Amino acid sequence: MELQVHDLAVARAGVAVLEGLSFRLLPGRALVLRGPNGIGKTTLLRTLAGLQPALAGRVSGAEAVAYAAHADGVKAVLTVAENLAFWAAAYGTADVAAALDAMNLRALADRRAANLSAGQKRRLGLARLLVTGREIWVMDEPTVSLDADSVALFAAVVRRHLQQGGSALIATHIDLGLEADVLELSPYRAKPPAAGGHVGAFDEAFE
Amino acid sequence: MIALLARDLRLAVRAGGGFGLGLAFFLLVAVIVPLGVGPEPAILAKIAPGILWVGALLSCLLSLDRIFALDFEDGSLDLLATSPMPLEGVVAMKALAHWLVTGLPLVMVAPVLALLLNLPLAGYGWLVISLAAGTPALSVIGAFGAALTVGLKRGGLLMSLLVLPLYMPTLIFGAEVVKRGLAGMDVGTPLALLAGITAGAVALLPFAAAAAIRVNLR
């Protein structure tokens, strides 16, 4: 499945942040999004994940997206294995054991998520991507609170996913050591409506 | 879907899940009212249907803000919204889990608390029937209120203000069923209306709640 974005404009809180964005993400490729804080990386990823509507433009292939947000969505009173098993059931897959092994969570499988460290919780959050069975991984700062070994482990998992024909869209500030294309978002910063940019809901309300 | 129901039930019965909280509150209401009103059996018997229904309604209200707020805080709601499960189904399952954890236990302990309030024997059956028919509506309407206020800081009070007026028809017809049953009158009309409200709420509100969540997640 190929992710295609054509002339996309996205808005945060009704104000356009990015516009005129077009790119293609082919199977087997990774794309790293870069840009200063506040440029709209998270907003773009949430739009691609279908959590908010785009201001303008087209996205195709979004139905194959698995989204990993800032927050891991880990339930503290469930064990690591129970957390993963729920998401596996939600996506209609069953391979929890492979995901546990891939993110080095096997030894923690029966521990309650409340007792995990921040990095271990993040690993659990990323292991969720493996049980979704989706082809396009959209990840928002996946390496936050991971140590160097875990970053390498995660990079290996992404590399294997790419080899199997998947693709990855990653917003990150650090170098993962992946053979990835880099998309710098700064040139796509939205112009204010007065300068001919897109009009968001917030601007409309004050016209 | 079933996995979501199982997860929510498991979360509710584990530590800090709030299972039994509504039940304990219901018990306290039933204990406190005779202390305030006085021990005359005749007065208690007269107000028992209304008090039991108000108590059930308030204990339902108590746990509503947990339906979506906890999932919103830890990011699960975003992930549920992007999962293959339809959001309407997520809402329906969460409302069902809330009813199984809160409403169903209320239905089951109501006869015991009715004893504390000196409800005449003829009313016990109607009390259980009316609660069984009415409490699902409380959970579904509550899930709608929780969906409207999800993501708001300290939205619990606002949610109570939104939800309580919506509970009124259920309360009116629910208490009416018991009162009429006690008086030996025909309960068909209020019972049909009560069940109708429940059926309508269950059929329509998951869609409204899912729409509200989509807007709140933007």
Q: What's the pLDDT tens digit per position in A140-166?
A: 988 888 888 899 999 999 999 999 999
User: B175: domain range?
Assistant: 20-30+41-217
Q: Nearest by CB to B82, which of A49, A53, A75? A: A49
The arithmetic mean of pLDDT across residues B134-139, rounded, is 95
pLDDT per position as a tens digit, B53-72: 999 999 999 888 888 988 99
What local confidence, expressed as pLDDT, does residue A93 receive?
86
What local confidence, expressed as pLDDT, does residue B87 receive?
92
CATH code (residue A70)? 3.40.50.300
User: Residue A75 and residue B15: Cβ atoms within 8 Å?
Assistant: no
Of B121, B138, B136, B132, nearest to B48 (Cα)? B121
What's the pTM value of the predicted model, to 2 decimals?
0.91
Kindly state whether A75 is in contact with chain B, defined as any CB-CB distance less than 8 angstroms: yes
What local confidence, expressed as pLDDT, does residue B58 receive?
92
Q: Does A70 reside within a domain?
A: yes
User: Residue B84 and residue A90: Cβ atoms within 8 Å?
Assistant: yes
As a whole-number percent, the residues of chain B with pLDDT over 70 amount to: 99
Low-confidence ranges of chain A (pLDDT < 70): 206-207
Residues of B in contact with A76 (CB under 8 A): 74
E strands, chain B, in order: none
Q: Does A88 reside within a domain?
A: yes
* C-alpha distance from residue B142 to each of A11, A48, A153, A182, B202 (Å): 31, 31, 44, 46, 11
Q: Does A32 reside within a domain?
A: yes
Q: Does A39 reside within a domain?
A: yes
Q: Does A206 reside within a domain?
A: no
Q: Does B13 reside within a domain?
A: no
User: Residue A73 and residue B74: Cβ atoms within 8 Å?
Assistant: yes
Q: Does B36 reside within a domain?
A: no
Question: Half-sphere exposure (CA, 13 Å, Cβ side) for B152?
Answer: 16
Pure H helices in chain A: 41-48, 80-90, 96-102, 118-132, 148-163, 201-205
Q: Does B53 reside within a domain?
A: yes
Q: Does B5 reside within a domain?
A: no
pLDDT per position as a tens digit, B69-124: 889 988 899 999 998 899 999 999 999 999 999 999 999 999 999 998 889 998 89
Residues of B in contact with A85 (CB under 8 A): 3
Q: How many structural domains comprise chain A?
A: 1
Kindly state whether B80 is in contact with chain A, defined as any CB-CB distance less than 8 angstroms: yes
Q: What are phi and psi of A197, to 5 degrees?
A: -80, 180
Q: Does A189 reside within a domain?
A: no
Kindly state whether B121 is in contact with chain A, defined as any CB-CB distance less than 8 angstroms: no
User: A43: domain range?
Assistant: 27-53+61-184
CA-to-CA distance for B87 and B80, rounded, in angstroms?
8
Q: How many structural domains comprise chain B?
A: 1
Q: Does A204 reside within a domain?
A: no
- A79 SS3 class: strand
What local confidence, expressed as pLDDT, does residue B109 receive?
92
Q: Does B204 reside within a domain?
A: yes
User: Residue A69 and residue B76: Cβ atoms within 8 Å?
Assistant: no
Q: Does B153 reside within a domain?
A: yes
Q: Does A117 reside within a domain?
A: yes
